[in-house]
Amino acid sequence: MDPMEVFKIEVTGQEEFGAKKYRELIMDILQDLGLIRSIGRLYVYVDIFKPFFAVYGLLRSGIPPLTVKDVGDVLRVAGGYQIKINDEEHMADLLRVLWERYGRERVEQPARDIVIIASDTSPSGLMVADLEAEFLQDLTDALVRVAPEGFRNRRNIMTKDSFFFIAAEESLTPVMVSEIKGKIREMENA
Amino acid sequence: MLEPVMFTGGLYKHDLVVELVEDLGGYILQRNLTQTEIILLILVPSEDMALLQALAKELRGELVRAPLAGTEVAVVTPTLAIHHLPHTACDIAEYLRRHGSKTNMLGLARGVGREIAQINEYETALINEHDAAVFIFGNFQECIKKKESLYRNISVPVVVTGGPQIEAKDLPYAFEYVPAIGRVAHRARKATEIGTLDRIVDSVGRALDKTRASIAKDPLTTSPPRVMDAVREQVPDVQFSYSPLPIALNLTGVRVKLPYNAYKDAVKAVTFDEGVKLGEIATIKPSRMKDYILVRILSASETGFVF
């Protein structure tokens, strides 16, 4: 069963095999990059004779930014605050943010998973990483990987809740883009 | 007739295998040492196979037929980007290696796309130095048909692989077409996928048999393994080549992995027991692969004798 609510793929000509294989390929790549759960609907339209490759997708609800309290427990100690790190994945980002906010001389790391800050202001609310931006970067990477390799004229329109990606061999013209948009709309309404 | 086989076993006492093969008049084509294990690619006279089998059994080694041994196959992808590698291309290359072939992977500079795909003279000449080529294409039949221009000028047999079923008449320049292995994003694991790899090996085997049959009509003056042995003996610097296989065998000659200008005369001067020099029975020219030396043995109709 597909983890997505809707996943449609349409290819011009007698290319049923290609459509089936591209479906598997897209699933494999999205799964590899851990993106599949964040995409609700996906429409893929390929015209082999023009040729171009287009993907339109609707994203599931936005991902909130990661803050200091999400990566560790913040405790008030004598002379400042202590952060006990639970998730080491974002350690480098956390230290960079703390150094920027408090200065290197006020951030101390006596143990691998302990950081002490000499300050009266709590670091709990500081943003460690913008997960949504990372997700969008990964998504762009996935789309470039999915598109056939020779299709190097690309357009990628990303909004808060959707993305629209076109890749073609020839230059993209406004006529072509509106034609593709029309096709995708037809697929959506079918 | 020489039988190509692959011996896999422990390092201990493997010298016995090497000695036996040499005593029987066979050739060691390749020796791969991996810590305590050794893989030997061997050509052995078919009437003496039983002796080698008995020794392999005694040493608890494994002896399997390697039908592609002594040949060089090019595995060609439209580029070396993530779209084509590592899965399909590496699976095919590795599978061909397991059947004894020396496999070179080749990514074209501008082989991508449908309308814009192209191959240049250098790439064509490099592929022509091999005994056969496998072109790996994708999932759309229109693209596979259109990309025929990439291998139209290649003179060695070309096995084309791709996803959909395509009639042989639609690909007139391909030796054979093997379907069901288009662009995939995972390694070949399922029985059907391994079966497809087997079909590619069979197809490459048939392509090489066709070349062998055409060589048999006008045989080479001497056999490539014999040239390899003589070069290895008389040009000792070849053992200092950094390449894992310093002398690569082809069906019509060898590629000596030494700089052309510095060693061409030494290779030409290699002399056989019959008193014939290699320069007299073969053309020695620069290979398209790096700065190597390409030796192409002349046929009996050109030299007038066979030894």
How many structural domains is chain B composed of?
A: 3
Peptide bond into B4 cis (omega under 30): no
A-B C-beta contacts closer than 8 Å: 74
Q: What would the two tokens of residue A6 be?
A: 């809707």
Which domain does A124 fall in, by range?
66-129
| B197 plus B282 within the same structural domain | no
Contact B142 A13 (CB under 8 A): yes
ipTM over 0.85? The verdict is no
Contacting residues of A for B83, CB less than 8 Å apart:
145, 148-149
Contacting residues of B for A46, CB less than 8 Å apart:
140
Q: Compute mean pLDDT per 10 residues along chain B, 307 residues long, and list them.
A: 89 93 92 90 92 95 91 93 85 92 93 90 96 94 92 96 92 94 84 92 93 92 94 94 90 95 96 94 95 96 92
For B113-147, the pLDDT digits (tens) are 888 899 999 999 999 999 999 999 999 988 999 99
| B172 plus B43 within the same structural domain | no
Contact A149 B78 (CB under 8 A): yes
Mean pLDDT of A170-186: 91
| A80 plus A173 within the same structural domain | no
Q: What would the two tokens of residue B127 be?
A: 């592929």
Q: Identify the contact set of chain B against chain A, taking CB-CB distances under 8 A.
A: 78-79, 81-84, 112-117, 138-143, 163-165, 182-186
pLDDT the model gives residue A38: 87
| A37 plus A75 within the same structural domain | no
Touching check for A88 and chain B: CB below 8 Å? no
Q: Least CA distance to A48: which residue of chain B?
A: B142
The answer to whether the CB of B255 falls within 8 A of the CB of B267 is no
Whether A1 is in a domain gets the answer no
Distance from CA of B22 to the nearest CA of A (A): 50
Touching check for A13 and chain B: CB below 8 Å? yes
Contact B139 A21 (CB under 8 A): yes
| A16 plus A109 within the same structural domain | no
Question: Does residue A1 have a pLDDT over 60?
Answer: no
| B157 plus B244 within the same structural domain | no
How far is C-alpha B264 from the chain's CA centre?
Answer: 23
Q: Least CA distance to B112: which residue of chain A?
A: A150
The answer to whether the CB of B140 falls within 8 A of the CB of B164 is yes
Whether A140 is in a domain gets the answer yes
Touching check for A40 and chain B: CB below 8 Å? no
Measure the CA dihedral A77/A81/A84/A90, to 10°. Answer: 180
Contact B83 A17 (CB under 8 A): no
The answer to whether the CB of B63 falls within 8 A of the CB of B56 is yes
Q: What would the two tokens of residue A93 be?
A: 């980002």
Domain final residue pick, B65, B87, B106? B65
Alpha-helical (H) ranges within chain B are 14-24, 49-58, 87-98, 121-128, 141-146, 191-217, 224-234, 260-268, 278-281, 300-303
Touching check for A49 and chain B: CB below 8 Å? yes
Domain final residue pick, A108, A129, A150? A129
| A18 plus A53 within the same structural domain | yes
Contact A169 B140 (CB under 8 A): no
Domain final residue pick, A81, A113, A129? A129
pLDDT the model gives residue B83: 81
Strands B72-77 and B102-107: parallel
Confidence of residue A2 (pLDDT cuts 50, 70, 90): low
Contact A150 B117 (CB under 8 A): yes
Contact B163 A21 (CB under 8 A): yes
Distance from CA of A116 to the nearest CA of B (A): 43
| B172 plus B204 within the same structural domain | yes
Mean pLDDT of A151-161: 90
Which domain does B171 fall in, by range?
72-216
For A32-82, the pLDDT digits (tens) are 888 888 898 999 999 988 889 999 999 987 778 889 999 999 999 988 999
